[in-house]
Amino acid sequence: MDPIQSSSTTFQLQARSHQRQRLNSYDYISQMPDEVLILILARMPIKYAVATSSLATRWRYLWRDLRQLNFDGRETKRKKYIKQVNSVIKSYNHPTVNDFRISCRLNLKHKHAINKWIKFAVKKKVEFLELDLTDPCPYKTSRDGIKSEYTRSNARCFPMVKKVLPNLKKLILKDVIVRKGVFEAFLKNSPHLEMIAIEDPVYMDHIHLSGQCCNLKCFQIVDTEYGYVRSVNLSDLDLVSFTFRGYDIDLRLAHLPKLNELDLDLGGMKIENVFGRISSCVLSLQSLSLHVNQPEGYLIHVYLPRLPNLKKLKLAFGGTFNDCLVLLDAVLSACPNLETFSIKLICILTMAPIIHKRRAEDATNAHKHLKLVEMAGYKGRKCDFELAAYILQTPAVALKKVVIAIARWDSKGEEAARCSAERIKSIKPQGVELVIV
């Protein structure tokens, strides 16, 4: 046989084989129950799920049974995105939607479209609503009002919906303007709302919530870009978890008897100031994450309230190394039932009176329940090694595992840090697992 003809015949046979495989795969998928096919569609971007309606008669209306509508338009032009969303909600005929997510760089010019989508969410009894209007533009107005190309007047925003979402349980707002009074009224009229997450809020200078949102369980605020939030006052709530990350603000927490998880980063404020603001919640806390700083002076006397029920502590510390040892002594002494402890050193300095170091090294408090210790940002400096040694040599009856996370910056530095971390094996207690990542 002619070699060219033989090669052509082989190619045709392979093509037919691949076609049969595709047909067999399609037949296999087509034989699946509708419920399984809908689960597959739910894992696709909504535009691809809708496109499957052209595959066959059976697929024509399957996408309309999706209960999660996630419109990701971060890489789509605005006009095209709005057209896509409008087309889908116009054809969607299921009576309810569980999740409804809008993610696109929109602003006041598009408020008509956004309000239309919110009305759709209300009609479909949405339980989880996410509005992400984030703009990657680097020019933004600072907390101090420094002029830039990016100001409040042209920020991504819309006048916060005044409709009531009676079935709403979870709300996420990113770069969304919420004008004064509207947010509180919205919460008051959403009786089943349990979780709120707000990222880079605009116009929300003062957030004051009390018993009117009695069903709220989880509240998160991230204000690291603008720094517009000036005060947060939470009282008489059944709040279980609260997170705030941003600048130093007027923070007041009162009568939150169920609060057991607290995550605070107030621009690296002083440790005594942090505990002064959360003193009313210390008895109920089980998990605490803090970013603290000591830029002025040294920790000669530090008093911390007792946290008898705290089981998990995450601490990011900026200051002097010896102050860090004193702080650790105070913190660990205040948490007798601690099980997991994580620490990260930020901009640590090593210059401090040696008396402080001796004071910390004299600590003999036993930690009977401490099982896991994590140390992040390990750079292999002398102070890093001594901190690990201090933690490991503090009596901990139940300690099972120590995790050292190497700081990532350059290959040579990482190699040196890893070599330093390997030395910790020689000082770790017998039976304790050491993991270096």
SS (H, E, C) 98-134: CEEEEECCCCHHHHHHHHHHHHHHHHCCCCEEEEECC
Q: What is the pLDDT of residues 124-176, one digit of tens each?
A: 999 999 999 886 554 444 444 433 333 343 444 444 455 567 889 999 998 88
**Residue 315's pLDDT band (cuts 50, 70, 90):** confident
Asked whether the predicted pLDDT for residue 379 surpasses 50, the reply is yes
- Which residues in 168-192 are b (16+ Cβ under 10 Å) and which e? bbbbbbbbbbbeeebbbebbebbee
Taking a C-beta distance cutoff of 8 angstroms, is the pair 189, 164 a contact? Answer: yes
pLDDT of residue 143: 47
Average pLDDT over the chain reads 76
Asked whether the predicted pLDDT for residue 422 surpasses 50, the reply is yes
Q: What is the pLDDT of residues 24-70, one digit of tens each?
A: 445 555 666 666 666 666 667 776 677 666 666 666 666 666 778 88
pLDDT of residue 86: 92
Q: What is the pLDDT of residues 82-114, one digit of tens each?
A: 998 998 888 888 888 989 999 888 877 888 888
Q: What is the pLDDT of residues 185-215, one digit of tens each?
A: 777 778 889 999 999 887 788 888 887 667 8
Pair of tokens at residue 351: 């210059």
Beta strands in 267-408 (DSSP E): 287-293, 312-320, 340-349, 372-378, 401-406
What's at 161, amino acid-wise? Answer: V
Asked whether the predicted pLDDT for residue 115 surpasses 90, the reply is no
pLDDT of residue 57: 61
**Residue 346's pLDDT band (cuts 50, 70, 90):** confident
The whole-angstrom separation of Cα 155 and Cα 141 is 10
pLDDT of residue 164: 65
Q: Please compute the mean of the pLDDT values over residues 325-336 and round it to a whole number.
A: 79
Pair of tokens at residue 264: 């605070």
Taking a C-beta distance cutoff of 8 angstroms, is the pair 339, 371 a contact? Answer: yes
Cα 45-51-56 angle, rounded to 5 deg: 135
pLDDT of residue 403: 92
pLDDT of residue 327: 74
- Burial of 209: CB neighbours in 10 Å, binned 0-12, 13-18, 19+: buried
pLDDT of residue 310: 94
Q: Please compute the mean of the pLDDT values over residues 261-268 and round it to a whole number.
A: 86
pLDDT of residue 322: 64
State the DSSP H helix or E strand holding residue 230, giving kind and residue range, or none if neither. none
Pair of tokens at residue 35: 């419920």
Residue with the bigger pLDDT between 267 and 375: it is 375
pTM of the shown model = 0.79
Q: What is the pLDDT of residues 210-262, one digit of tens each?
A: 876 678 999 999 988 777 888 999 999 999 999 999 888 889 999 999 999 99
Q: Please compute the mean of the pLDDT values over residues 287-301 and round it to a whole number.
A: 68
Pick the closest to residue 377 from 404, 355, 359 (CA basis): 404
**What is the chain's alpha carbon radius of gyration, rounded to the nearest angstrom?**
28
**Residue 284's pLDDT band (cuts 50, 70, 90):** very high
Asked whether the predicted pLDDT for residue 357 surpasses 60, the reply is no
Residue with the bigger pLDDT between 95 and 395: it is 95
Beta strands in 139-187 (DSSP E): 170-174
Distances in whole angstroms, Cα of residue 63 to Cα of each of 41, 45, 97, 150, 416? 7, 11, 12, 40, 54
pLDDT of residue 46: 74
Q: Please compute the mean of the pLDDT values over residues 282-307 and round it to a whole number.
A: 75
Pair of tokens at residue 201: 């809020």
Pick the closest to residue 350 from 386, 393, 316, 374 (CA basis): 386
Asked whether the predicted pLDDT for residue 416 surpasses 80, the reply is yes
pLDDT of residue 365: 57
